Amino acid sequence: MQRRKFLRNLGILSASPFVMNGMPMQIMESNQLLRAAANNNEDRILVLIQLHGGNDGINSLIPIDLYDDYYNLRPNLAIPSRGARSFIPLDNTLDTKSQIGLHPDLLDFKYMYDRGNLAIIQNVGYEQLNQSHFRSQDIWLSGINSDEIGNDGGWIGRFLDDQYEVYPFEEENFDSLAFKDPLGIEIGSTVSLGFHSADIGGPTALAIRNPEAFANLVSSVGVDPTTCSDPSLVTSARYREKLKYIMDIESQSNSYAALLAQYYQAGTNSSEVTYPERYHMNAPGAVMKNSLAGQLKMIARLISGGCKTRVYLAKLGGFDTHADQVESYDPTVGFHSSLLYHVSSAMRAFHEDLNKQSLGDKVISMTFSEFGRRAISNYSYGTDHGKAAPMFICGNKVNGGVYNQENTENQTGINGAVGEHELYNHGKNPNIKQSFIKGEGRGNITPTVDYRQVYVSVLEDWFGTDTNTVRNQILPSLDSNLLKISGIIGSEALSAGDNNFLSNRFKFKTYPNPVKSIATFDIYINETASTQISIYDINGREVMKVVDRKLNSGKYKIDHDLTALTPGIYMAVLSQGDKKLTQKIIKK
């Protein structure tokens, strides 16, 4: 077979992806040894989730303290404050200005937040917003200022290029490589700028239908070596380099085909986790299916099979909601609602899948979108392009909470904001006061966190990348006065007993103790859910049920008569799903 036909079959010339289990994927190749000594974070994985179109952060995270302003700015879109589909209070321990109401279809984000596994970074963007989708995506993926031309590839590519040689290897050298896996894998039909390396101009893509078909294609088609030119015989340095690059890709396809097929076949998804397939409410047919869940499920299986790829990129489109963002008869359902459900439910399933396989500590996931939406809705039940939106980071090693600019004098934000700037922020929420939005805001919110400040946090605190490398090589155009958003990454796996975040939001105390008759059970819960308080004897048998019903989040003092218990030692257990707290009770 001719070389051109062989490469076309592999998708090299057309820049098509290869497809695993029916899912198109892109690969960024790795080669040779680590440039620097390996650090303790070399097995850590980042899964990026790109929300194409510009997510409406204001309907995702409703600022409760400014609810009247919120409602008046977008009465045809506003999520109600009461009723069956009202917003979900995120965290009653936050200060009043920072109180957030989650969209009702972000219930799975609430679940992860209450366990300390979700960080929300508010009001993220960049100065001088470019409202072109393509240009703004390039800015986010390149890691540059809005007035720069990106000539050095993408921020992910620069990070990987710093750690590894990014260039096709020769097949006979594959077994000697210290890192044999693709550095990056992208789900989709094109290679995003974020993965590009300045050294080679971009990653290489392969097109197949599934891992087995990919391996069969490479082994059965092959290339006749007698028809191949020796690159060393080509006199032109430019063409010699290009020919060698193409020939190396051919040999490289053999190695990656077998390796990825092996990982996929060896991997699994937990039988205890069900990935969501469809939106559970009313929405247009185009967004009923959860396409993100399938992507994350496949990534989890590759990780389970032993794939050490450092960065994955999954995508979900549809967020450019200029019209029909909600159903006219109910703002809590429709196009945008279904997308939010897909994101939160798929991310929860993904991390639960990894946790069931004891892989959760090595993976975090992070969302990003090229811009947000304006605070003011339009007459088409939609929103127009806006300057800022939230980012979400999930994982066991994430320090849960809500983040914005640190409230310190030396922490400079973008747009002249210092600390929690009163004009642009309201607590940790964006300021959507009508007086500001309709005046200086011109219908828009103003970002106070540069998106690269979040990247710095991930690069330094997750991957352990040296600060000088981050600032000088990976994100050189980031203003030196813009510091990383501290504290997002770093916690161990969380539990109610040893984590301050969770223990401050899930409390249990009994008194008097010892008790003769009436005991008071003093509890605080941050999640509206089925709640139980049971009493067990020293043999672990349940001897009394105090509470077994759904409770709304908040504080409760519950009196219960323990006269029927014989004197002795008992354990009172407060449980809400997988969260449990115990108190020893002495019955007189």
Residue 18, pLDDT > 60, answer no
Find where tokens 């609602």 sit: 337
- For residue 232, the one-letter residue type is S
Residue 440's pLDDT is 66
User: What is the mean predicted confidence (pLDDT) over 371-392?
Assistant: 96
Least confidently predicted of 89-103, 212-226, 500-514, 531-545:
212-226
Q: Residue 210 and residue 216: Cα distance in Å, rounded?
A: 10
Region 424-434: mean pLDDT is 90
Rounded CA gap, 259 and 190, in Å? 22
pLDDT of residue 538: 87
pTM value is 0.83
DSSP assignment of 335-349 equals HHHHHHHHHHHHHHH
Contact criterion met (CB below 8 Å) for 232 and 275 = no
For the four alpha carbons of 154, 155, 157 and 161, in that order, the dihedral sign comes to positive
Enumerate the β-bridge partners of residue 533.
547, 574
Q: What is the pLDDT of residue 261?
A: 80
Q: Which two tokens stand for residue 235?
A: 């006199």
Which of 525, 539, 389 shows the shortest CA–CA distance to 451? 389
User: Going by C-beta distance under 8 Å and a sequence separation of 6 or more, which residues neighbour residue 165?
Assistant: 30, 31, 32, 33, 35
Residue 95 to residues 57, 64, 118: CA-CA distances in angstroms? 20, 11, 18
Instruction: Specify the higher pLDDT residue, 70 or 262.
Output: 70
Output phi, psi for 126, to 5 deg. Answer: -155, 160
pLDDT over threshold 50, residue 326: yes
pLDDT at 386 exceeding the cut of 90: yes
AA letter at 78: A
Indicate the range of 225-239, 257-271, 471-485 predicted with least confidence. 225-239
With bands split at pLDDT 50, 70 and 90, how would you rate the model's confidence at 166?
low
Percentage of residues of the chain with pLDDT beyond 70:
75
How would you class 492 by CB atoms within 10 Å of its CB: exposed for 0-12, middle for 13-18, buried for 19 or more? exposed
Domain 506-587, CATH homologous superfamily name and number: Macroglobulin (MG2) domain (2.60.40.1930)
The chain-wide mean pLDDT, for the chain, equals 82
pLDDT of 495? 41
**pLDDT (average), residues 32-45:** 55
Residue 198 has pLDDT above 90, yes or no: no
Q: What are the pLDDT digits (tens) for 177-186?
A: 667 788 888 8
- CA Rg, the chain, in Å? 26
Q: What is the reported pLDDT for 442? A: 73
579: confidence class by pLDDT, cuts 50, 70, 90: confident
Q: Is it the case that residue 238 has pLDDT exceeding 60? A: no
Hey, which residues does 555 pair with through a beta bridge? 524
Greatest CA separation for the chain: 97
Q: 264 and 257 in contact (C-beta within 8 Å)?
A: no
Predicted pLDDT at 132 = 94
Q: Inform me whether the pLDDT recorded for 260 exceeds 70.
A: yes
Distance CA 329, CA 434 (A): 25
CA 148 remoteness from chain centre: 27
pLDDT at 42 over 90: no
- Identify the weakest region by mean pLDDT among 270-274, 283-287, 418-422: 418-422
Q: Please tell me whether residue 71 adopts helix, strand or coil conformation.
A: helix
Q: Are 547 and 523 in contact (CB under 8 A)?
A: no
Provide the pLDDT for residue 498: 47
Domain residue ranges in the chain: 3-229+245-410+424-474, 506-587
For the ranges 12-16, 171-175, 218-222, the one whose mean pLDDT is highest: 171-175
Residue 466 has pLDDT above 50, yes or no: yes
